[in-house]
Amino acid sequence: MRDTMRQNNTRIPYAKRLGGAGALLAAVFALPLISPTGVPEAAAMVTMSDDAELLDEIVFRSGRILRGRIVDETNDRITFEGELNGIPLNTTYEKSTIAEIRRGVAPAPEKAEPARSERQHPSVSPRSGGRESNARDDGRTSVYLIELSGRFRSDVHEAPLRDALEDARDQQPDYLIVKIDTDWVELQFDEGNEVEIPTNPDELFYAEQIEPLFTEEIRDTWPKQPELVFWVKNAMGGSAFMPFFSETMFFHPEGRIGGLGYVDELFEGDEMFNAKQISLRMGHAQGLLIARGYEPRLADALMREHTVLSYSIDGGEPVYHERMPESESEFLLTDDGDGPNEDTLAQAVRGQLNDTLTLDAETARRLRVSMGTVETLDDLLFELGVNRDYRLIDGKSERIMETWSRRVRRTIQDVPKMWEEYQQIGQGRNATPAQLRGQRIRKLEQIKGALLRMQGAVPGPAVGVPSVAEIDQLIAQIRLQGLGQR
């Protein structure tokens, strides 16, 4: 078990804050984070050893900068080595994730930034009134609100999010507030009345896919940089990672983050294969948190059933312990989930699971994950130091998200009916084999088109129909049947 390490949350590259036994963990965090979806690795600055006068630098598209030496290079990949807190690092990166390569660069002096617990809003002092605003009309601080509700990856999907953010960009707000209140999976009960909670830890890859919309695209394409704030009521399942896209997070009094586990149970079979797949996912999850300076062990607690993690408070700062609490001043976050520690039905119904982590408003505040707990938008902006006469922009985001959700609901209703109609083709009708084949192909194309229009928000198998790939196979088989009957 790793020695207890106090995290001072200094806003400098996270790897530089890990000492002693934590150095090995930091080396793992520096591994390439390439998801099966091709999503670029999470943005996290890692500074290599600066013993040499001239070093090479890799600048990733995510904004992360790596210093060391290029030891091998092909058309598609670069192998990079150096030292990280005394631990040798030798890693291969895909060039598709790299924006720039700098060779023979003198190391720049590192500047420390304020600790998360000491950090105030960058433009104002708390409760001190509104900041200077360059709002285009009346000079008041402008606020754009995006409210995300429904199911992650169906209602909360990249397509409407991109449209809503483009509208926000055109409005040039001072603050971009994203309120999350997403539905969780429904509880399922087995015959023994034990609760089973269907989860999909691989939703982290979709969270990683949409993360650049809130980070890189705002940074690189918005004419005015807003202050991005996430406000959490329910961020369960894959949406649990979304609040970590920003350094500024607030909770609703009923707020929760969690419902991600259990990555340990995703795979069966070869132990080495399982370990590699779990390690891949944990690297991605940790990277999303590290990028904005959050404690990476929270990712393990969110996703792994047997992670034991507790904390205490020392001088207002959280100190993490990878063990059960040993005194009244220590508080349990997650236990090992074994035997008497297994979550109960009552805990599941209340959303208070601790086999994997569920962060509530008070715990998030104590851990310095949340900057405060607020019930209304006025309260949130007051905590940010914004005057009460702020201007709430009447944007299109609400209409965009609602329209998309209606399309999702309609597709969920319509596609199974189309599949039933496909299965009934040829029953009680006088038609030639060629006509029947044509009718079946047209109906399959209709189903395929409906699924494709939703861009993955409504997977076929989730509503009882074949996937798009399986529909293509059915169409090919029907056409082959026609060739054989000529």
Mention every residue, 6+ apart, whose C-beta is less than 8 A from residue 327. Answer: 312
CA–CA separation, 443 and 475 (whole Å): 10
Confidence (pLDDT) at 53: 64
- Helix (H) and strand (E) counts in the chain: 12, 17
- In tens, the pLDDT along 293-348 reads 999 999 999 988 888 999 999 988 999 999 999 999 999 998 654 444 454 444 44
Cα 128 to its chain centre, rounded Å, is 33
Backbone angles phi, psi at 313, to 5 degrees: -115, 125
Q: Is 184 left (phi over 0), alpha (psi -120 to 50) or beta?
A: beta
Confidence (pLDDT) at 66: 73
Burial state string for 53-76 with b = 16 or more CB within 10 A and e = fewer than 16:
eebbbbebbbbbbbbbbeeeeeee
Q: Which of 281, 328, 231, 313 is closest to 9 using CA atoms?
A: 313
CB 356 within 8 A of CB 261: yes
* pTM of the full structure: 0.70
* Strand blocks (E) in 322-480: 330-334, 359-360, 391-392
Confidence (pLDDT) at 210: 95
pLDDT at 133 over 70: no
CB 444 within 8 A of CB 471: yes
Sign of CA dihedral 7, 11, 14, 17: negative
**pLDDT interval class at 52 (50, 70, 90):** very low
pLDDT at 363 over 70: yes
Indicate the residue type of 413: Q
Average pLDDT over residues 5-28: 30
Question: How high does pLDDT run on average in the chain?
Answer: 78
Q: How deeply is 337 buried, as exposed, middle or buried, from its count of CB atoms within 10 A (0-12, 13-18, 19+)? A: buried
Sign of CA dihedral 315, 321, 327, 332: positive
Average pLDDT over residues 233-248: 94
CA–CA separation, 303 and 281 (whole Å): 9
Confidence (pLDDT) at 14: 27
- In tens, the pLDDT along 451-484 reads 999 999 999 998 999 999 999 999 999 999 878 6
Residue 190, SS3? coil
- In tens, the pLDDT along 185-197 reads 544 444 444 444 4
Looking at the chain, the whole-number percentage of residues with pLDDT higher than 90 is 50
**pLDDT interval class at 109 (50, 70, 90):** low
Looking at the chain, the whole-number percentage of residues with pLDDT higher than 70 is 70
CA–CA separation, 56 and 101 (whole Å): 8
Average pLDDT over residues 234-244: 94
- In tens, the pLDDT along 148-206 reads 999 999 999 999 999 999 999 999 999 999 999 997 654 444 444 444 444 577 889 99
pLDDT at 89 over 60: no
Which tokens go with 108? 């720049």
